[in-house]
Structure 1
Amino acid sequence: MRERLTAIIAIVLLLILIAASYWYAMQATFSNLRYVPSEDSPDFIASDTTIIDFNEQGVAQTRLQAAEFMHYSNDTILMVKPRATTISPDEPITHAEALKGRSTDAGETFVFEGDVVVSRAASGNTAASRLETQSMTVYPDTNRFVSDDVVEMFSGNDRARGTGMVFDNLSRTVELKSRVTTVIEPRSGSKNLLK
């Protein structure tokens, strides 16, 4: 009986030693595991989000909204239905929107793609204007919009079409680069010189 009791105690101690060894081996294995983000999967996803950019004085300059933001470990940002709005008090309010957008430089520039529309509110003697294209690069810090695609522009009753464009919202200028056609409607009160 005594030999049996000694054998049972030895087996129990051996099982405890095996369990402790297994537990320490698993702890060492799991402590060395680290999450390595895949460039194919986002770090985070945010829905119905607004990001506001402020200048050094704390005044809001631009507001970026999207139905969905996806941020990746390489600082790429993908957006669904992005909308960018300039909100600086000294500048005309300008809206840019598209079906999708992306940034590959942590938000320094954004590329809007698919049914891109840029509209600027009327200010002073300048009529409200609207630009339509299929892709556009937005430079939020300098308040510029650049496109190499076909652009249609509407300002009041006037309209223009061209390939490629640089729109500087600060200086309120639009440069159409090539294949430009323009239709300017006569103003009321002007005389028709061609008869």
Structure 2
Amino acid sequence: MRDRLTSLIAIALLVTLCAMSYWYSVKAELENVTHLSDLNSPDFIARDITITQFDDDGIAKAKVFAKEVEHYSDGHANAKFPEYASLNPNEAQITAKSDRATMVDGGAVIHFYNNVDIRQAATKDAPASRLLTSQLDAYPDTDTYKSDKPVALTRGEDTSHGIGMDYDNVDRTFKLRSRVQTVIQPKTVKEVERKQP
């Protein structure tokens, strides 16, 4: 779960990086153009973007895609169909996507909307997992995530549903707020019992 939510931060940061990189690349040309800033019109729009994130050794570790990014003069940005994919073959592969995202307060808050879908591939130690919701708020500075909407979490064959969630990536705590229903398959219970001393 930690890796999946960390990927949301990566999506937001990479989309922000793309937007800012594009802005600074055209800034010199825009300095000679005089115009009135309109909060309802974007400063710039970038379409069909792909950003690759590299580690310290220059090896690609993640890619972020977006159909469109709009940046506004007050510092907020909107992204359509943002997607994230991890590339490290030594870690569980993670993908995350939503229909749209909005970054506000200079990236202090990132709102993901509609069809938020975060998946982590199975490993030899853990089954595949998936988090679905219609809205997720990410707070990168505190590494916390929240939602007031229905949430579905699947881990292997086990499922949990609830209304609202809070995830703290620092404390590694995940809480469903209300109407929680969890179904643990008998196979999973037997495996846990076998692993206990």
Q: Please tell me the residue identity of whatever aligns with 1:103.
A: M
Give the match for residue 65 of structure 1: 65
Give the match for residue 99 of structure 2: 99
- Please give the secondary structure, in 2, of the residue aligned with 1:187: helix
Change (3 A) 1:189 1:98: closer
TM-score (norm 2): 0.65
For residues 90-135 of structure 1, what are the alpha-carbon distances to aligned partners after superposition, in whole Å with 9 as ceiling and x for unaligned? 8644322111111113334421111111111223421111111110
- Please give the secondary structure, in 1, of the residue aligned with 2:106: coil
Q: Compare the two structures and name the one with the higher helix fraction.
A: 2
Q: Give the distance between the partners of 1:120 and 1:66, measured in 2 at CA.
A: 20
Q: How does 1:161-180 map to 2 (within 5 A)?
A: 161-167=161-167, 174-180=174-180
For structure 1, the residue ranges without an aligned partner over 5 or more in a row are: 1-32
Question: Is 1:82 aligned to residue 77 of structure 2?
Answer: no
C-alpha displacement of 1:138: 3.1
Q: How does 1:181-192 map to 2 (within 5 A)?
A: 181-187=181-187, 190=190
- Please give the secondary structure, in 2, of the residue aligned with 1:34: coil
Q: Give the distance between the partners of 2:35 and 2:68, measured in 1 at CA.
A: 24
Q: Give the distance between the partners of 2:124 and 2:77, measured in 1 at CA.
A: 37
For residues 19-45 of structure 1, what are the alpha-carbon distances to aligned partners after superposition, in whole Å with 9 as ceiling and x for unaligned? xxxxxxxxxxxxxx9312211111111
Q: Please tell me the residue identity of whatever aligns with 2:103.
A: S
Mapped contact 1:91–1:170 kept (Cα < 8 A): no
Give the match for residue 154 of structure 2: 154
TM-score (norm 1): 0.65
State the number of aligned residues. Answer: 159
Q: Give the distance between the partners of 1:175 and 1:89, measured in 2 at CA.
A: 30
C-alpha displacement of 1:65: 2.0
Identity of aligned residues (%): 35
Change (3 A) 1:37 1:55: farther
Change (3 A) 1:188 1:108: closer
Give the match for residue 128 of structure 2: 128
**Aligned Cα root-mean-square deviation (Å):** 3.4
Q: Which has the higher contact order (CA 8 A, sep 6+)?
A: 2
Structure whose CA Rg is larger: 1
Q: Give the distance between the partners of 2:86 and 2:143, measured in 1 at CA.
A: 8
Give the match for residue 37 of structure 1: 37
Q: Give the distance between the partners of 2:131 and 2:189, measured in 1 at CA.
A: 27
